[in-house]
Structure 1
Amino acid sequence: MNKILVDGGKRLSGDVIIGGSKNAALPILFGGIVTGGTCVFSGLPRVSDVLRTLEILKCLGARICFLSGGDVRVDYSTVRSCAPPAHLCSSIRGSTYLLGAMLTRFGRAELPGAGGCDFGSRPIDQHLMGFERMGAVARSRGERVLIEAPSGLYGAPIALSMPSVGATANLMIAATLAKGETVIENAAAEPHVKALADFLICAGARISGVGSDRITVVGVSELHGARNRIIPDMIEAGTYLCAGVACGGPVRVSPVCPDHLGALLDAFTAMG
């Protein structure tokens, strides 16, 4: 599709149902690998990245069942492989979350190259730096990355050079079963980072400080399966709200988390 034509000039109104956040769903789905149990997810958005993520998990050995009502059950206990298929990993950027999950579960992680939307260069050097601080050895050749921690991971202080969502999430996943305490400084504070932490905590992880720039993870001996409802997509909600404001409204969107839309709602209030 080269262009989109919009026949404008019409007043918009009505109700819109907001789907689950893809940015929350991907790290949660991949992070489930470290639980080694069965997890049930509600509100997963049926978008290509999520469907590819489920396909990657299936290729790694997970058992996936689509339940009535739209829930998805994933049995991670059957995951055996730590070499995901290249053709699927290259299609989504979120496949980088496999690094922390597989390294923690198997002591080894191999990623053939992450793809996804073309937003310019988004290197994973912060991810690798953090893994190495925790005792892993990382090697790369081209886009292929191999990380090994045969003696396991150890808690460590990690200072990110920028508040990267991906690095924060990946290191948080890896730290859940590491020996000792991991402190991530300059951590990202986005809602989907908190959503991942909430899921891991429900699975038995010990995580504090989420929402601030300093996250502390105390490693535990094991995790277990959990239920999780994916948070509503704040970008989708904000887009429809803006459309309603710009085109006359009234537009009602649900479900939403008002805390995730604070700046936008404040701007609307200031506009009257």
Structure 2
Amino acid sequence: MDRIAITGGAPLRGTIPIYGAKNSALKLQAAALLSADPLILENMPDLADTRFMAQLLASLGVEITWIKETRTLRMHAAEISSTIAPYDQVRKMRASFNVLGPLLARVGHATVSLPGGCAIGARPVDLHLKAFEAMGADIVIEQGYVKAAALRGLKGAEIEFPFVSVGATEHAMLAATLAHGETVLKNVAREPEIIDLADCLNAMGARIEGAGTGEIHIRGVTSLKGATHSVVADRIEAGTFALAAAAAGGNVLLQGARFDHLQALIKVLRGAGVEVDAEARGLRVKRNGGRIQPVSFETEPFPGFPTDLQAQAMALLCLAEGQSRIRETIFENRFMHAPELARLGAQIAVHGNEAVVTGVEALKGAPVMATDLRASVSLVIAGLAAEGETVVNRVYHLDRGFEKLEPKLAACGAQIQRLKVEQ
């Protein structure tokens, strides 16, 4: 297993390009199943998760052409050769479950493994399945597999989610594009990735209105065509590098980052005493001298503070001149990074879904262990600001969501390198 070694204390100066959003790209990949024509995705992130999804699609009959030099992925599902997504594929990544809806909509049946457990808490798929049942699908769960059928096609329905769910919103959107009649989705997620998916589907010939609001209307069509779509910039990657620049100090331009997608984070950063400004090419983050100020926040669905930036923000607030409070309202069990940050000298007290962070003047380098994707990058951020060397173990988590993390940071002056570990 690879490790990442960081010698802290070097400010970050330069430009970091922000790639396409992982959370959007995975659902856009699933959309390729809806059309017999090619779907071409530009600004495509090359990550462990997107590669897993490509492998799964290939096993279903999708012809995959990935041109890494131009960050372009071409997917052509002329024929669906299989409607079975086995456990060995789906267990690697929860988002692969999202092939169920497109297969059901286009072919009329599918057998997809239930996703495996998740380190950051339960993320049930019952909302997804209830939405498909509302659209007329017959669903049976046997031996860990979802067997779904709608042999006469899905039908439009009015579906109100009991709570906001990004995954269920996206999955229902995918399936409803080919349903007979109109589907109305209420109490839906409003994330930029929802809008990105709607834009792509509409370019393929879907009729979707209301993405980005609390209610989405989808009038089903008989078939979708091919399209070329550029994946929206990854706001989580952009936010992560913004927090890294804030913790290490310096002056960084996040090229391609969207100011309008990061309002909640920008409020926290400015409250902490960090300069953040929109520029024509992206977002500039500056901190030169002065202690970080304490800031309290809670995670919320968009446009609130994203849960996927909570761990990274905690790493920054470990250096604050005072006490900060963080409430996690999206996922249970998402403070597993706190004990590892404590190994660097952080003072964090966790009480249920709230963490109290009492800032210290300096963190000290130490060996630490990554527990999940976002937790692992929070340890990298802390290591950038710590005195001495920090070694982050189990960094395979990082490769699921960050492409070229070390080279991007090193290009801005960070003393960071990946250590290959012999098996």
TM-score (normalised: structure 2):
0.62
Give, in whole Å, the separation in 1 of the partners of 2:86 and 2:132: 22
Give, in whole Å, the separation in 2 of the partners of 1:200 and 1:38: 13
Task: Name the amino acid aligned to 1:103.
Answer: L
TM-score (normalised: structure 1):
0.94
Q: What are structure 2's unaligned runs of at least 5 residues?
A: 276-423
Contact kept? 2:32, 2:76, Cα under 8 Å? no
Contact kept? 1:204, 1:224, Cα under 8 Å? yes
Deviation track 1:178-207 (CA, whole Å, cap 9, x = no partner) reads: 111100111111111111111100000000
Contact kept? 1:27, 1:169, Cα under 8 Å? yes
Map of 1:141 onto structure 2? 142
Task: Name the amino acid aligned to 2:202.
Answer: I
1:241 and 2:280 correspond = no
Could you say what secondary structure the match of 2:15 adopts? Answer: strand
Deviation track 1:219-242 (CA, whole Å, cap 9, x = no partner) reads: 112110010111111111111111
Distance 1:142 1:118, change over 3 A: farther
Map of 1:61 onto structure 2? 61
Task: Name the amino acid aligned to 1:12.
Answer: L
Task: Name the amino acid aligned to 2:193.
Answer: H
Number of equivalenced pairs: 272
Q: What are structure 1's unaligned runs of at least 5 residues?
A: none
Contact kept? 2:19, 2:233, Cα under 8 Å? yes
Deviation track 1:86-123 (CA, whole Å, cap 9, x = no partner) reads: 31111110011111110001111111232475222111
Give, in whole Å, the separation in 2 of the partners of 1:252 and 1:126: 39
What is the 5 A alignment of 1:22-37? Answer: 22-37=22-37
Task: Name the amino acid aligned to 1:17.
Answer: P
Q: CA-atom RMSD, angstroms?
A: 1.8
Structure number with bigger Rg: 2
Distance 1:268 1:112, change over 3 A: closer
Map of 2:325 onto structure 1? none
Deviation track 1:50-72 (CA, whole Å, cap 9, x = no partner) reads: 00111111111111112352312
Map of 2:7 onto structure 1? 7
Distance 1:71 1:145, change over 3 A: same
Could you say what secondary structure the match of 1:88 adopts? Answer: helix
Could you say what secondary structure the match of 1:252 adopts? Answer: strand
Contact kept? 1:209, 1:215, Cα under 8 Å? yes
Map of 2:112 onto structure 1? 111
Could you say what secondary structure the match of 1:72 adopts? Answer: strand
Contact kept? 2:45, 2:71, Cα under 8 Å? no
Contact kept? 1:91, 1:116, Cα under 8 Å? no
Give, in whole Å, the separation in 2 of the partners of 1:16 and 1:253: 5
Map of 2:252 onto structure 1? 251
Please identify which structure carries the higher strand content.
2
How far does residue 247 in structure 1 lie from its aligned partner after superposition?
A: 2.4
Task: Name the amino acid aligned to 2:32.
Answer: G
